[in-house]
Each structure stands twice: as C-alpha cells, then as structure tokens.
Chain A
Amino acid sequence: MKTQFKIVLAAIFLWALTLNVVADGVIVITGETTHLIPISITGFTGEAESVLKFDLSVLGMEIKEPADYIISGKDDGRVEGSLTRAGMNRPIFLRAYAGGSTRSQAHAFANDIVKELRQTPPIFQTKIAFRLARGGPPEICVADFDGNNPVVLTHDRALVSSPSWLPGGRGLLYTSWMNGNTEIYEHNLATGARKVFAGYPGSSFSAEVSPDGQKVAMILSKSGSPNLYVCDIDGSHPKQLTHTREEDSCPCWSSDSREICFVCRSGRAVLQKISANGGEAVPVHVSGVYGNLTAPDWSPDGSKIAFTSGSGNFSICVMPAVGGEAEKLVAGEDPCWAPNSRTIIFTQRRNEKRVLCLLDVPTKHVKDVRQISGSCSEPSWAR
C-alpha cells in the first residue's frame, strides 16, 4: 500500500516535471496589461504579412526590437508559422493552416497567437456591419472586422441607420425610411429577404437584439413620446418599459439578456438600467465624465459598459458595468465591443467624413479599419 502510494507520488512528480517543460515556453499573462507587446514577424510575404501585422497591432502588439516574441513562418501555398518567446529555442506552438484563402489562414494564425499572448477569444474572422454613405443616401454595409471584403447590402437610396446583428450573424435589423416612415426592418443575409420588423404608428427605430437571441429592445413613439420597448425575436408582444415624456434612446443589452442600459434625459442625457421584464429604471452612477452620456454598449463578458461622452467633441469612455469611475480613452463616438470584450470599434469624424477605428482598451492603442471610400459610421460587431 505504502509502496503503491510512493509510485503514485513519483508519477505525479514526473508528470509535473513534464508540465514544467511545457510551461517553460508559455508566458501566462494574467490580468490586463497596459503595455504594447514588442514582437517580430519574419518569413511572411504580401497579404499574409500585412494581415498578421494588422491583426496583432489591433490586440496591442507592435513590431519593435528587442522583441519579446518571435513570429516566424512562411506562406508559400499555405500559411505555416510558429510563436516563440525571445531567448527560447522551442516555439510555444507551430502550426500549419489549410483551406480558405491566404487571408483567412493568416487570420487563423493571428487568432492562435492572440489566444496565447492575450488569453482572449478570437476576433479576426468576425464580421461588422455599418452605415456607408458615398455622396448619396447611406446604405448598410457588411465587411470583415478589418474592413476587408465589404458588401453593400441595401440599394434603397433612402435613409437607413442603426444596423444590429441577429444571433449567429444570420441577419440584421436596421432602421429604414424607404417607405416614408421611420421603421425597423429585418434582413436575412442568407436569402436577402426583408420584412418590416416593427412599423408602428409614429416612429420605430434603434433595434438591438439580446445576446440570447430571444428579445429585441427598440424605441417606439406610438405612446406619443420616444420610449423604450421590448418585443420577442419575431417582433411580437411589444412591451413598453419606460413612460417618460422626454425621449429615451440608445438601448443595449446586458450579457445575460436580463437588463437593458439606455439613455434618458435628466437635465442632460444620462445612462439608466431597467429589467427587460419592466419595472423601475435606475440611474447608472458615472463619475469622471461630464455632459451628455450616450450610445452605451455592454461588453459581452458583462463587466464593462462603453459609451460616448460629450456633444460634438465626443470621447469613447469605458466604466465598470455596475457604474463608477469612467475612463475617457480616445476621441470618437458610437463604441461597439468585439466578442473578446477587449477591442472596441467606433467612429471618428475626420475631414468631412467618418472613419471606423479599432481600439485596444487596455493599451489605448487605436488602429484604423481599412479605408473604405465614403463615410462609415454606426458600427455593429457580430458577436
């Protein structure tokens, strides 16, 4: 019995030794760092190289000597690459990628690197939707998160705004004026079929789908005032949640789909929270920022709320979801969280047009989305 115990102990000891060897090459970064990670990228060419540089920059890494991590590989035929900690002989991992385009293989490699170095869910193969204006009326556009492969979805030559993804990226809700009214439309991305999702007396706009895909929050004015409503995912059973005379706006959902954070007027525009089932709205205590607080977005992990402060000179701010001290991060408006709860896409006004930018919240590093000709605003990240 005693001998058996010793053998088990010895086995555990040996196994732990092996683990140490594995752990040797892996640096686990706990918590959020505010520093850019210096890296080097060697061996890649053309598209693969530019995708890797862009993606890793978005997650707060920079090409800089001396590099903490060496990313090397090749892209002749397929993308192969390794991630190695500086000073180590053996790589943390070495992988080859098959199928898809060089671009998507490089995104997959970048996802694997970020998983090791930032411990966040992958975002480099996700989609965004936004409003695109090129001289004429705006249309809704869908693209890769980095602005590549843009597809203009609508061709209505009518005003359109506020795209919001349905779960699984299967479709979008957006506000359109194509019939002369302010109405919410549902657009199936697989078939292109569209229908009026909400077209009530007065105006219907600013739809946001709950993370569990069961409900939609929206603003309807049929009560005689722009108030917050919730309906089922098929548009049925609209329920009025707020009854203020002043306007309510900008609903967003908590990660558990139980609460809605929205904007109402209390002298100025302030943030409030309300149960999706109704009840009393409660103010969100925010300190450290002043003026109108609008366009909130709740992070998918539930921990933070990003919003826009100011009137004209807008700033992207982030605060704990329970309220408290807000941090002003960068000039811009309309923040929307990536599925990793770390990256934010937002809009900046520049030279008579608007551009989409990506913000790495812990490092405050900002990277422009690939420039699409025209004015891009109101980004929504599929998550």
Chain B
Amino acid sequence: MKNLNLFGVFIVSTALLASGCHRKPTSLTPIPGYDHPAVSQNPAEVSPSTPLPPENPVTSTLGVISEDHGKWNNLFDGPHNEDRDKFKADTVYFDFDKSAIKASEEGKLQDVAAYFKGNATDALIVEGNCDERGTEKYNLSLGERRALAVREYLANLGTDPQRIKTVTYGASKPVDPGHNEAAWSKNRRGDLVLVTPK
C-alpha cells in the first residue's frame, strides 16, 4: 500500500516537473563506488625519507643538545644485543602526571651512570611509559618527557648523552593491566635497556 502511494507520488511529481512547476526535480543521483584502499607493503620495503640538513642545535634547560641523538643513532648501524634484564631493578618510577626524577629513584640512576663509566662503548635505550589516565597523544608526549628526564639525569652524572636513545610508548605497554593505583604506579616508568655491540 505504501509502495503504491509512493508510486502515485512519483507520477504526480514527474507530472509536475513536466509541466514546469517549481518543484524539486525527481533526479537520479549517481553513486560513485569506492575502491578499497591498498594494504601496506612489508616493513622491509619501507624506505626512509631523504635526510634533512641538520638544524642549528637547540639546547634544553639541562644542556642536552639535540644533535647528540643523531650522532648516537649511528652506533646502532652495526649488530648489537639488547638486554632488558641488566637494569630491570633500576626501572625509574614517576608520580602521576609528572616527569621529574624522584629522590627515591636517584640511586638507581647513579648505579646506571657508574656502569657506563666502566663500559663506555655500551649504550642505553630509555623507554618512557605512562598509566592509562591520559589521552593517547598526551601520553606519548608525557612518556617522551619522562624518558628525556632520565637521559638528562644520566648526562648530568657524566654519561655520554650520545649513547642514550629515548623512545615513548605512551600508555600502550603497561606491565600491569589493572585499573587501580597499584597498577598505575607500576606503569608510570622508564624502562632501561642495555645495548652492547655484538
């Protein structure tokens, strides 16, 4: 019945259109089809973009220069081992929404700095992590700020900042999946990964 009504309306509408009345025309709207986007290539096929000329180095408050990172990155070209256990006990923990190195964590970093005094060819990856109480992009910046705070602290203790690389994981790599302070306090951390030449 409804369809019949519609059909009637359709005829009336078409008739009105034919008679030149100011009705909205009954038009046939073409729908463009969309192609499915292509999926990615293998990571191995990803090519780095053309390196850009270095900017003038910028000095942060604690004097760790940007291009230090760049020089250090070259050390990774050769084969190397990553040891996640060496500094496991020295994981640096942070207060909620903060990136300052707490007094309770300073001893750990002094031990790490002492290690690098005797092993000057080794290197370190600092991975900054957050608890789940921030939005994703905010946590990426907070995690990076935490990793950089560890790097700065070690640099001030004499460790060559060229040998310290920072990575941020935001809240994507919690060690405890819980949703309480006990879990969150474990997740707000800087993991230290020792890198040695093979």
Chain A residues in the interface with B (C-beta under 8 A): 18-19, 21-22, 42-43, 72-74, 80-82, 90-101, 104-105, 108, 112, 131, 138, 142, 149, 151-156, 158-159, 161-162, 175, 177-182, 185, 187-203, 205-206, 219, 221-226, 235-236, 238, 240, 243, 245-250, 263, 268-269, 292, 294-295, 308, 311-312, 314, 333-334, 377-378
Q: Considering the complex, give the chain A residue whose CB is closest to the CB of B3.
A: A74
**B198 part of interface (Cβ distance < 8 Å):** no
Given the complex of chains A and B, what is the CA–CA distance between A179 and B145 in angstroms?
21
Cβ-defined partner of A226 (8 Å) among B41, B136, B144 = B144
**B194 part of interface (Cβ distance < 8 Å):** no
Given the complex of chains A and B, what is the CA–CA distance between A92 and B22 in angstroms?
12
Is the CB–CB distance between A43 and B167 below 8 Å? no
Is the CB–CB distance between B135 and A95 below 8 Å? no
Cβ-defined partner of B134 (8 Å) among A81, A104, A292 = A292
Contacts of B166 in A (CB 8 A): 202-203, 221
Name the distance in Å between A71's Cβ and chain B's nearest Cβ: 11
Binary A-proximity of B56-90 (CB < 8 A = 1, otherwise 0)? 00111110111111101100000000000000000
Binary A-proximity of B23-38 (CB < 8 A = 1, otherwise 0)? 1101111111101111
Name the distance in Å between B74's Cβ and chain A's nearest Cβ: 10
Name the distance in Å between A164's Cβ and chain B's nearest Cβ: 10
Binary A-proximity of B17-54 (CB < 8 A = 1, otherwise 0)? 00001111011111111011111110101111100100
Is the CB–CB distance between A189 and B38 below 8 Å? yes
Name the distance in Å between A320's Cβ and chain B's nearest Cβ: 21
Given the complex of chains A and B, what is the CA–CA distance between A224 and B55 in angstroms?
13
Is the CB–CB distance between B2 and A203 below 8 Å? no
Contacts of A153 in B (CB 8 A): 37, 39-40
With A93-B24, A294-B134 known as contacts, the answer to whether A190 contacts B37 (CB < 8 A) is: yes
Is the CB–CB distance between A94 and B9 below 8 Å? yes
Name the distance in Å between B67's Cβ and chain A's nearest Cβ: 7
